Amino acid sequence: MVNKILFLDIDGTILDNDKNIPNGVKDSIQTARENGHEVVIATGRAPFTAQSIMDELKIDSFICYNGQIVQFQGEIIHKGIIDTMELQHLTEFAMEREQPLVYMDDKEFVSNVPDHEDIYESISSLKLALPRVEENFFLSNDIHQALIFCDMEVQKEYEKAFPNLKFVRWHRVSCDVLPKGVSKAQGIELFLNYLHKTPKDAIAFGDGLNDVEMLQYVGTGVAMGNSVEELKKHASFVTDHVSENGLVNAMKKLKLI
The catalytic residues are 9
Across 80-94, b (16+ Cβ under 10 Å) vs e yields: bbbeeebbeebbebb
Report how far residue 163's alpha carbon sits from residue 159's, in angstroms, rounded to the nearest whole number.
Answer: 6
**82 neighbors 146 (Cβ within 8 angstroms):** yes
The rounded Cα 23 to chain-centroid distance in angstroms is 22
Dihedral angle over CA of 220, 181, 152, 70, nearest 10: 60
Report how far residue 238's alpha carbon sits from residue 206's, in angstroms, rounded to the nearest whole number.
Answer: 10
Provide long-range contacts, Cβ within 8 A and 24+ apart, for 55-62.
Answer: 56/21, 56/26, 57/14, 57/21, 57/26, 57/29, 58/30, 59/29, 61/191
